[in-house]
Amino acid sequence: MTEKIIIAGAGGQGIMLLGKILAEAAMRENRFVTWLPAYGAEVRGGTAYCMVIISDEEIGSASISIADSLIVMNAPSYARFKPRLKTRGLLVGNSSLVKHNLAVQSQVLWYPFTDIAMKLGNVKVANMAALGCFIARRPVVEVKNIARVIEEIAPAHKKDLIEINKRALAAGIALVGKKNKKSGEKNG
């Protein structure tokens, strides 16, 4: 099993962190994993993305041409990476910031992650909500490992953030956990 995930959004949305948490969790499960960020001048102008591959075998390229899953947190990222999602791939999109159309040959999960995060009290945890949503649909790593990673990587002086991050994660999971497609899920 190999899962290739592209995660993209704006600077400050915690894109890199989302990817790292996923990768760390996979590492704890002794899977092969690679994480590759966008870097350099690419990160000016406020876009950010990273690529995560989780696999049971040695991984070749850490760069992803065609992704199995795509998590997009803002509009420019959606526009940019939409073409790189494989047919019937999984799209997790932040409907708070993206006016999406449906012309995508994929499974799509659109949820207002930014709004959800704001409701939880911190706009910055939108990424965890999206991660929860993704992981609920594509259980490539165990949720408990993600939770552990969140606990472990929080800097000492920011331990208070652990709780809200975990709550956002749970909220994201819950979206899919509802197991209905009403709210945001569509097959395009």
Partner 1 sequence: MSKKILMTGNEAIAAGAIQAGCRFYAGYPITPQNELIAYMAKYMPQANGIFIQAESELAAINMVFGAAAAGARAMTSSSSPGMSLKQEGISYIAGAELPAVIVNMMRGGPGLGNIAPSQSDYFQATRCGHGDYHAIVLAPSTVHEAYYGMREAFDLADKYRNPVIVLGDGMLGQMMEPLEVAQAAAESSKYKKPWALSGCLGRAPNVVKSFYLHEGKLEEFNLLLQKKYKRIKEKEQRAEVILADDAEIVLVAYGSMARIAKAAVKTLRAQGIKAGLIRPISLWPFPETIFRKLSAGRKKRSLLVVEMSYGQMIEDVRLSVGDRFPVEFLGRGGGGVPSEKEIIAKVKHVTGKKLHR
Partner 2 sequence: MAKITIDRNRCKGCLLCIRFCPKGALLVDKDLNVRGLRPVKFKNDADCLGCMLCALMCPDCCIEVFK
Partner 3 sequence: MKKIYSHPQSLRTVSTHYCPGCGHGIAHRLIAEVIDDLDIRERVIAVAPVGCAVVAYDYWDFDCSEAAHGRALAVATAIKRVRPQNIVFTYQGDGDLAAIGANETIHAANRGENLTVIFINNAIYGMTGGQMAPTTLLQQKTATTPLGRDASLQGYPLKISEMLALLNGVKYVERVSIHTPQEVIKTKKAIKQAFQNQIDGIGFSLVEIISPCPTYWEMPPVQALDWIKDCMLKEFPLGRIK
Q: How far is the CB of 166 from partner 1 (least distance, A)?
A: 20
Task: By CB under 8 A, tell whether 7 contacts partner 1.
Answer: no
Task: By CB under 8 A, tell whether 115 contacts partner 2.
Answer: no
Quickly count: other Cβ atoms within 10 Å of residue 101's Cβ: 9
Q: Where are the beta strands (DSSP E) in 56-147?
A: 67-72, 85-94, 107-111
Q: How far is the CB of 60 from partner 1 (least distance, A)?
A: 3
For residue 83, which of 60, 106, 62, 99 has the smallest C-alpha distance?
106
Q: How far is the CB of 118 from partner 1 (least distance, A)?
A: 30
Binding mask 70-109 for partner 3 (x = CB under 8 A): ----------------------------------------
Nearest 10 degrees: Cα torsion 24, 9, 125, 18 = 0
Q: Toward partner 2, which CB reaches closer, 76 or 184?
A: 76
Q: Return the residue of 41, 103, 155, 179 that touches partner 3, per CB under 8 A.
A: 41
What CA–CA distance (Å, rounded) separates 71 from 15?
9
Binding mask 15-34 for partner 1 (x = CB under 8 A): -----x--xx--x-----xx
What CA–CA distance (Å, rounded) separates 134 from 111?
11
Binding mask 59-88 for partner 2 (x = CB under 8 A): ---------------xxxx-----------
- The H or E element containing residue 26 is helix 15-28
Residue 16 — left, alpha, or beta (φ > 0 → left; ψ -120 to 50 → alpha)? alpha
Q: Which residues bind partner 3 (CB under 8 A)?
A: 11, 40-41, 44-46
